[in-house]
């Protein structure tokens, strides 16, 4: 693979709880023009990414203390680390694992075992995409652009998790664990940073998504209710009326009447 000056001395952060895996990765990539830093769990990797601003992160999934999915959620919720491409490297190769990796913000998911050529090619591709998209490296951002209250990173990660899973949300304790904290701390952080509870945010998000679906699709109200996490259309109608002043059916009817009037 041809090398260019743009690839020289790119810093790759390897996050894996196995020293053997770390050594194997550095050896596999030793002929490439990269520098390496290593971390042994997701939290350590997140902190090291904040401190060193690597050009790309190779992230294992199954790790103690904080797994790769949790670390990736935090990386993508923080403006300081959000631009860094993340590639998952994992022996967990089920379809749901790969989908989860992409949902939490990774650019790629490579199943172990892999060949050195495949890994090098994918790293080269994603570094190249960063350049072509003119995405500034995190280290090039001004401190005022990058710094964010640490609690807000967790809150933003939770918001994204909720928006991605409105139809089948885990309980609050599981949501908290998904971003590396616990229920009581998350409740306090969320209220301090947003002025509302997690449950109030969920309710607002569900109604907002319901409005979008009523406006943009012909999906039945009952099906919309299930898609956004209500057990039945009655519960959806009650919550919708409290927020919007009318039922979902009445809201859609009004939209249709306005569209018909505008077309004449």
Question: Each residue of 198-241: pLDDT tens digit?
Answer: 999 999 999 999 999 999 999 999 999 999 999 999 999 999 99
CB-side neighbour CA atoms (13 Å) of 165: 17
Identify the band that residue 126 occupies on the pLDDT scale cut at 50, 70 and 90. very high
Q: Mind listing the pLDDT tens digit for each residue in 31-79?
A: 888 999 999 999 999 999 999 999 999 999 998 888 999 999 999 999 9
CB 93 within 8 A of CB 102: no
pLDDT digits (tens, 9 = 90+) for 114-124: 888 899 999 99
Among candidate residues 34, 36, 55, 59, the one with its CA nearest the CA of residue 46? 59
Give the pLDDT of residue 51. Answer: 93
Average pLDDT for residues 241-253, to the nearest whole number? 95
Is 2 a residue whose pLDDT tops 70?
A: no
The yes-or-no verdict on residue 7 having pLDDT over 50 is no
The percentage of the chain sitting over the pLDDT mark of 90, rounded to a whole number, equals 65
Tokens of 79: 């403006």
The span from the CA of 174 to the CA of 179, in Å, is 9
Q: How much is the pLDDT for 144? A: 45
| pLDDT score of 147 more than 90 | no
Instruction: Please check the confidence at residue 244 and state whether its pLDDT lies above 90.
Output: yes
CA distance linking residue 138 with residue 129, whole number of Å: 15
The per-residue pLDDT for range 73-105, each reduced to its tens digit, is: 999 999 999 999 999 998 877 888 899 999 999
Torsions phi, psi of 255, nearest 5?
A: -60, -45
Average pLDDT over every residue of 131-144 = 56
Which pLDDT score, from 0 to 100, does residue 164 have? 87
Q: What confidence category does residue 133 fall into, taking pLDDT thresholds of 50, 70 and 90?
A: low
Question: Which strand (E) or helix (H) includes residue 58?
Answer: strand 56-59
Q: Sheet containing 56-59: which strands, arranged edge to edge?
A: 34-39, 10-15, 56-59, 86-90, 108-111
pLDDT band at 184 (very low <50, low <70, confident <90, very high): very high
DSSP per-residue letters across 213-238: HHHH----HHHHHHHTT-SSHHHHHH
pLDDT of residue 146 exceeding 60, the answer is: no
The SS3 assignment for 211 reads: helix
């Amino acid at each position: 693979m041809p090398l260019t000056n743009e690839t020289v001395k790119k810093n790759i952060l390897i996050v894996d709880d196995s020293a053997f895996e770390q050594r194997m990765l550095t050896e596999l990539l030793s002929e490439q023009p990269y520098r390496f830093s290593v971390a042994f769990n997701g939290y350590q990797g997140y902190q090291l990414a904040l401190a060193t601003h690597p050009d790309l992160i190779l992230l294992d999934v199954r790790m103690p203390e904080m797994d790769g999915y949790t670390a990736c959620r935090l990386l993508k919720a923080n403006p300081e680390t959000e631009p860094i491409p993340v590639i998952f490297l994992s022996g967990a190769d089920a379809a749901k694992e790969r989908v989860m990796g992409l949902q939490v913000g990774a650019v790629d998911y490579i199943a172990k075992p892999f060949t050195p050529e495949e890994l090098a090619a994918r790293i080269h591709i994603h570094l190249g995409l960063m350049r072509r998209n003119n995405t500034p490296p995190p280290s090039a951002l001004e401190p005022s652009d990058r710094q964010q209250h640490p609690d807000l990173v967790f809150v933003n990660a939770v918001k994204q998790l909720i928006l991605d899973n409105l139809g089948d949300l885990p309980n609050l304790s599981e949501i908290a664990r998904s971003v590396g904290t616990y229920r009581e701390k998350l409740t306090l952080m969320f209220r301090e940073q947003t002025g509302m509870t997690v449950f109030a945010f969920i309710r607002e998000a569900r109604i907002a998504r319901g409005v979008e679906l009523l406006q943009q699709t012909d999906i039945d109200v009952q099906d919309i209710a299930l898609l956004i996490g209500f057990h039945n259309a009655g519960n959806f109608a009650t919550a919708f009326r409290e927020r919007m002043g009318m039922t979902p059916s009445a809201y859609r009817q009004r939209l249709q009447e306005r569209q018909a009037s505008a077309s004449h």
